Structure 1
Amino acid sequence: MHLMMILIVLAVAWWVRSSWNQPQGNWSMRWGRSLFLFLFPPLLIFMTAIAVLFMGPQGQMGGMYTGSVSYLLALIYLAFFAISCIKLAFQGWQSVESARNCPLVNLGDKRARLLQTGALFAGQIGFWQPELVVSQGLLQILSPNHLESVLAHEQGHHYYRDTFWFFWLGWVRSCTAWLPNTEPLWEEMLALRELRADGYAALQVDPLVLAESLLLVVSTSPVLSEICCAALGSSGVDRLQQRIEALLAPPEATQVSQFQSWHGFLLALLPLVAVVFHN
């Protein structure tokens, strides 16, 4: 019975992920839909594994006997989740340590780590309290106005705690790469993250100046690991036109109702109901 429940959940997760298509609508609509399609299937699978593990390898459910195969599968999958988290956490710690080895510099009223490279780079490196990291090439090439716009963008990443939330989303990505549309959804959320930070910066600096900074920085290859990192150009060249068009268009609200964003995820808890029918 447990094996049947696992197969049903896998089919539902596959179907939900397969329903993704090209993004449409404003920022709020795209973010809510992409986040649900990205996160709901893994959460449903995870809750099912927790339920199976809690019910144990023996017993009955719905008049049918349960076996140890489903219990072993759930145990293996949860162990894989744990190992992936530890691996990403170690890689993130390496990125943070690498940033902390860079010297501190003052940029007006902000302090930043100076990366000794000619590449154009600016990003937040860390977990809950990230540090601003800028490259020597960025300080040498950008004008004061362009540099101010870049720092405003990075302040947006800090404000929304992007390094923290996208560490966990990256963990989900690594654990469910076998599900359909994992990479397109991941790229979509990275692009939306950058659009949100751009919108935050556009309230403080001239959007046209920020767009010019994007043209300079996004074309540069990343110089640090993207784990625990939120950089100005991390969404890639493919999304550059979309970001510039958003900056030049009238601003739109980028906040999403908490209820609208999260109430659908309660459905992922349904597998835990099966525990009641197990004996």
Structure 2
Amino acid sequence: MHLTMLLLAGGLALGVHGLWRPRVGSWSDRWHWALGSFLFPPVLLLTTACALLWMGPHGAMVGRWGGWLSYGLSWLLMGWGAIAGLSQLSTAWQSWRQVRTYRAIALGARQGRLLETDLPFSAQIGFWRSELVISQGLLDMLDPEHLEAVLTHEAGHAHYRDTFWFFWLGWLRRLTAWLPRTEALWQELLALRELRADHWAAQQVDRLALAESLLAVVSAPLHYAEDLCAAFSCSAPPNRLQERIEALLSNTEERQQTSLWQVGLWLGFALLPLMAVPFHH
């Protein structure tokens, strides 16, 4: 029974990622669909492994070897999760220490860190309370109106705590990098993260100025990993850049859905293996 649970969880994880396709519609609907599809496989695998470790290796439906095999595979999965988490934490710590070495500057009412480079760059970097990092090249390139558009976009990332949530999503990405279409799901979430910040900024600054700023700086390379850094100059495929520009120029109001029932439904199914623990003998 234990081995069957693990195989079933692995099959469902492979199926969800393998069959996932981007949904057409508003960025809010697409966000919930992509997020639920991204979260379900790793959470299901982790909860199944936790349940099997709690129940122990003594399964008899497939013989003694089946119980010990599932027990060992569960330990392997949890160990890989711990290694991926420690690697993610180490990278985040190094990035935070590097950011703290940059000179603090005032940008009107905002505070930030100055990156001494001629390349245009801006990003929120950190964990729960991220810091704005902006390059001298970007300050020299943009006029006050376009600079304000970029800073407002970065404030959108801070508003949604994108660096915090994508730290954990980045950990799950490392944990399930072996699953099909994990990278495609990850890129979809990154694109939707930027669309969400663009939408938030467009409610406060001129949409055209925001689009023009995006075209001016989008070719700049990233200095940090995308799961630790929410960058306005995020490198993206041409179709993603075109999607952002079209969304800004369309000037259509889109109301974000506050209900997370779709994501909650995904996670509810992923937690089902834990319900087997009280009935185990």
TM-score range, shorter chain: over 0.9
My pick for the range that moved more, 216-225 or 103-112, is 216-225
Deviation at 1:234, TM superposition (A): 1.9
**Match runs of 1:79-228 below 5 Å:** 79-228=79-228
How many residues were matched structurally?
A: 278
Asked whether the equivalents of residues 122 and 135 of structure 1 are also in contact (C-alpha less than 8 Å), the reply is yes
**Percent of residue pairs bearing the same amino acid type:** 51
Deviates more, 1:266-275 or 1:48-57: 266-275
- Mapping of residues 40-55 of structure 1, within 5 Å: 40-55=40-55
Residue from 258, 261, 264 that aligns with 2:263: 261
My pick for the range that moved more, 258-267 or 1-10, is: 258-267
Q: Distance in 2 between matches of 1:134 and 1:160?
A: 19
Runs of 4+ residues over 3 Å off in structure 1: 62-66
Equivalent residue for 1:245? 246
Measured in 1, the distance between the counterparts of 2:263 and 2:280 equals: 32
Distance in structure 2 (CA, Å) of the matches to 1:40 and 1:99: 33
CA distance in 1, matches of 2:36, 2:263: 8
Mapped contact 1:40–1:268 kept (Cα < 8 A) = yes
Q: Deviations over 1:201-260 (max 9, x none)?
A: 001100000000000111111123334211102251431100011111212123441234
* Structure 1: distance between partners of 2:104 and 2:198: 25
Greater shift, 11-20 or 39-48, is seen at 11-20
- Letter of the aligned partner of 2:247 in structure 1? A
CA 1:217 to 1:254, structure 2 compared with 1: closer, same or farther past 3 Å?
farther
Aligned partners of 2:14 and 2:41 also within 8 Å: yes
TM-score normalised by L of structure 1 = 0.95
* Distance in 2 separating the partners of 1:52 and 1:94: 35
Worse-superposed segment, 237-246 or 133-142: 237-246
CA RMSD in angstroms, aligned pairs only: 1.6
TM-score under structure 2 normalisation?
A: 0.95
The whole-number CA distance in structure 1 between the counterparts of 2:146 and 2:62 is 68
Amino acid of the structure 2 residue aligned with 1:68: W
Write the distance in 1 (CA, Å) between the matches of 2:150 and 2:44.
39
Unaligned runs of at least 5 residues, structure 1: none
**Deviation, structure 1 residue 83:** 1.1
